[in-house]
A and B are shown apart, each in its own frame.
Chain A
Amino acid sequence: MPEPLLSINDLVVEFKTEDGIVHAVDGVSYELFPGETLGIVGESGSGKSVSTLALLGLIPQPPGRIVQGTAMFKGRDLLKLKKRELRRVRGNEVAMIFQDPMTSLNPVLSIGSQLGEAIKTHFPDEKDEAVKNRVIDLLKLVGVPNAETRFNQYPHEFSGGMRQRAMIAMAITNSRRC
């Protein structure tokens, strides 16, 4: 029986609001095995986004708070990692693609530089030329036409669908498989 890649156990996340404490996530547990794709479904407000954001420490605390629970990934509890270690995991071992490509990309930076940032953050010694080529390859991979010209363009010049693909490309830059 293979080991689970990701193991969430009894995760509880609460938020302090003007009307008291809201339990956004109330005891969630699941396991994810290598090669598996897990779909989490639920109504609006059921805590899908919050539970996932909590894994990468993207819940602002305050007003949020991870009350209890563990998230074992490759033998480490993501929820207990120090800031520096967590940063090494983000975008490198665990990546996130956000729902709204319109607001999830920085409007004043070019697509190329934002994707390049994903690489340079974790591999600062890479040459600019190499990074640029890698980004262009990724854009081609996700199906963005005219990748060379698009590299220097800004998010508002991309259509909604292309923005989404750029976000996907950004998430998989450091994947060992692509």
Chain B
Amino acid sequence: MLTYIVRRILYSIPVLFFSTFFSFLFVSYAGNPVNLLRQNPRVPQSTIDHLIHQEHLDMPVIERYFYWLHDVFTDKLGKSLVTLQPIWPQVTRTMGHTAQFIIISEVLAIILGVAVGIFSAIRQYSVFDYLFTTISFLGFAMPTFWLALLLQIAFTDIFLHYDTRIFYTSGLNSLPGGPAWSWDRLQHLALPIATLCIISFALYSRYMRASMLDVINSDYVRTARAKGVSEWRVIMRHVFRNALIPITTVAALNFGALLGGAIVTETVFSLDGIGFWFVQALGALDLYEVMAYLFVTAIFVVVFNLIADILYGFLDPRIRYD
């Protein structure tokens, strides 16, 4: 098991290296930072020259990549070329907020999705099943940004008409810099969480249902029944554990989509998260900030996939001895 984990980690490093390398090449090629600075009339020539020298912008792209990489580790992701401010504090602040609401959404979505999936499979073709199948199909077809907007409009409407705030429709706290774990924060995050949760829930409930049906009809479940095991134990001990295995893969694959959903949701609800920060940076063509985002999120995706792989190995003994 340990060798399996170590091998996965070692494999991730070159993948990370290459994906950031190609991103850097692409981003630098498409938008030369020097040109952008020159376009900005407020930046004096001396600053530009100083910056070019300091950030090695007159060097070939490949060398610049390694300077950037060096900055990543020594200077904590370096400084933005546009705001000239250090990037790292931005990243830590925004990533914390994003992580908070993504994790809550995902955990909720998995728990609810798995539960509904199990029940839908056991009571196949029942009203419950049809209802949640419909909900899932709608979840798959809805753009995340639109769902977010609908919720925002609905609750803004309620506030305007009935003068009561149930959930807030923008921002992280009523006062900027408010506490992260407070009732106020929860009220602000409720709608973003609901948005992401509904979209992910559709995925998990569907896959869990399909997985359960697949397992329920398998031979080894028939064997368990033939031994006289009670139906309850058959479901809990034999069906459930096997049905859960593909869900870890689904969750891992969904992580990238989740980050994308965060980008959109944070934009709609004006949350100070890393997705919103990224969109701003991209709009301003702040290349180092864009690279910082891609780098940080790539690491998270790799880590998350690793966790999912480990979990998979834990659930399914067949792959442990690969």
Physical interaction between A and B: yes
Chain A interface residues (CB < 8 Å from chain B): 56, 58, 60, 83, 87-92, 95-96, 98, 100, 103-109, 117-118, 121-122, 154, 156, 167, 170
Q: Is the interface on chain B under 10, 10 to 19, 20 to 34, or 35 or more residues? A: 20 to 34
Q: Is the CB of B226 within 8 A of A107?
A: no
Q: Which of B225, B245, B318 contacts A156 (CB 8 A)?
A: B318
| CB < 8 Å A-B pair total | 74
Please give the distance in Å from A129's CB to the nearest CB on chain B.
Answer: 21
Which residue in B217, B220, B231, B242 is a CB contact (below 8 Å) of A104? B220
Q: A58-B222, A98-B223, A103-B219 are in contact. Are A108 and B316 (CB under 8 A)?
A: yes
Besides A91-B227, A121-B229, 6 more A-B contacts (Cβ < 8 Å) are A87-B230, A90-B226, A104-B220, A106-B223, A121-B230, A167-B223
B218 touches A154 (CB 8 A): no
Task: Say yes or no: B230 contacts A91, CB within 8 Å.
Answer: no
* Chain B, residue nearest A93 (CB): B228
Q: Are A103 and B227 in contact (CB under 8 A)?
A: no
Which residues of chain B are near A58, meaning CB under 8 Å? 222, 225-226
Expressed in whole angstroms, the Cα–Cα distance for A87 and B228 within the complex equals 4
Measured between alpha carbons, how far is A60 from B217 in the docked complex, in Å? 9
Verify if B224 is at the interface (C-beta below 8 Å from A): yes
- B317 in contact (CB, < 8 A): yes
Considering only residues 238-263 of chain B, those with a C-beta below 8 Å from chain A are 238, 241-242, 245
B315 within 8 A of A: yes
Partner of A121, one of B228, B241, B242, B317: B228
* 13 pairs, CB–CB < 8 Å, chain A vs chain B: A56-B226, A83-B231, A90-B227, A91-B226, A91-B227, A98-B222, A98-B226, A106-B242, A108-B316, A109-B238, A121-B228, A121-B233, A122-B228
Chain A contacts of B223 at CB under 8 A? 98, 104-106, 167, 170
Q: How far is the CB of B229 from chain A (nearest CB, A)?
A: 5
Interface centre among B223, B231, B238, B318 (most CB of A within 10 A): B223
Set of chain B residues within 8 Å of A122, measured between Cβ atoms:
228
Find out whether the CB atom of A108 lies under 8 angstroms from the CB atom of B222: no
Known: A100-B219, A154-B318, A156-B317. A106 touches B226 (CB 8 A): no
The reply to whether A103 and B228 contact each other, CB–CB distance below 8 Å, is no
Instruction: Write out the residue numbers on chain B whose beta carbons fall within 8 Å of the beta carbon of A107.
Output: 220, 242, 316-318
